Amino acid sequence: MTRTPPLYLQIQQHLLEHILGGTWPAHHQIPPEEQLARDFGVSRMTANKAIRDLVQKGYLTRQPGLGTFVTDRKAESSLVEVYNIADEVRERGHHYSNRVLVCEAIEADDEVALRLGVRLGSRVFQSLLVHLEDETPIQLENRYVNPRWVPNYLTSDFSVHTPNEVLVAACPITDVEHIVEALLVDAQTAEWLDIETSTPCLSMSRRTWSGEQLISYARLLHPGNRYKLRSSVHRQAS
């Protein structure tokens, strides 16, 4: 016997059909809570929960005194979770692909040794990829991996599984560190990302652990006009 989904999920489904179907484009104002409550025969609290959840997921944004609007869904990632970029792109209904620029073993320099917690000159794995959404570059990923924990990393087929998927399969992530800054890139990086050198970029340095083991250090570069980073925190009212 099929169970009817909760009323707030029915409202979410209704809203998402309009958003993902394109009938409500970016910046479109959605019906207010009062109207949704009347249309679905629910309380305002239920309508509020449906909207609040979609705000937290990045589909909607609230503007105090004005209403709730459809978010401009340019590529985005969470700052508090580690998601597979290929899944993020596909969830937006777009085509994911990547270009592998480097995939090799190298000797760790000062920065890599410090960030990855290995000795200077130690053998580490490096992969350099451009991630694309509908053939447009949205991220340059420069990743260093400790071969002790992911020995088969360099033989992975990144056209099938992204570096994130390979790492998670080998060593489930338990802890993550993010450092974010804005910067301009050099000519070679701009060419890889298909941008001008004057285009502001978001840089995120990420280190990931599995239990007590430091597995990976990555530098992720995003064109600022194509990407955004999202963080949401929920606290219980006291």
Q: Which residues on adjacent β-strands are paired with residue 78?
A: 230
Is there a domain that residue 237 lies in? Answer: no
In a shared domain, residues 94 and 22: no
In a shared domain, residues 108 and 81: yes
Cα dist from 66 to 43, 69, 158, 227, whole Å: 21, 9, 45, 25
Give the model's pLDDT for residue 102: 97
139 close to 152: Cβ distance less than 8 angstroms: no
In a shared domain, residues 143 and 47: no
In a shared domain, residues 147 and 132: yes
Number of structural domains found in the chain: 2
Give the model's pLDDT for residue 114: 92
Q: Which residues on adjacent β-strands are paired with residue 44?
A: none
Q: Which of 31, 54, 70 is the last residue of a domain?
A: 70
How far apart CA 66 and CA 19 sit, in angstroms, is 19
Q: Which of 19, 36, 70 is the last residue of a domain?
A: 70
Tens digits of per-residue pLDDT, 9-55? 999 999 989 888 888 988 899 999 999 999 999 999 999 999 988 88
In a shared domain, residues 80 and 61: no
Is a pLDDT exceeding 90 seen at residue 92?
no
Domain that holds residue 201: 75-230
In a shared domain, residues 192 and 120: yes
Share of the chain above pLDDT 70, in %: 89
Q: Which of 52, 70, 88 is the last residue of a domain?
A: 70
In a shared domain, residues 18 and 82: no
Look at residues 43, 53, 46, 44 and name the one whose alpha carbon lies nearest to residue 16. Answer: 53
Is there a domain that residue 137 lies in? Answer: yes
Is a pLDDT exceeding 70 seen at residue 129?
yes
Query: Which one is predicted more confidently, 172 or 231?
Result: 172
What is the pTM assigned to this prediction?
0.66
Tens digits of per-residue pLDDT, 140-173? 999 999 999 999 999 999 999 999 999 999 998 8
Give the model's pLDDT for residue 73: 60
DSSP readout, 16-54? HHHHHHTSS-TTPBPPPHHHHHHHHT--HHHHHHHHHHH
Helix/strand/coil percentages in the chain, nearest 5: 30, 35, 40
Is there a domain that residue 94 lies in? Answer: yes
Band (pLDDT 50/70/90 cuts) for residue 237 is very low
182 close to 203: Cβ distance less than 8 angstroms: yes
In a shared domain, residues 50 and 85: no
In a shared domain, residues 102 and 58: no
Task: Write the CATH number for 42.
Answer: 1.10.10.10
How far apart CA 178 and CA 180 sit, in angstroms, is 6
Task: Write the CATH number for 213.
Answer: 3.40.1410.10
In a shared domain, residues 144 and 199: yes
In a shared domain, residues 91 and 199: yes
Is there a domain that residue 175 lies in? Answer: yes
Tens digits of per-residue pLDDT, 58-88? 788 888 888 999 887 655 554 445 678 998 8
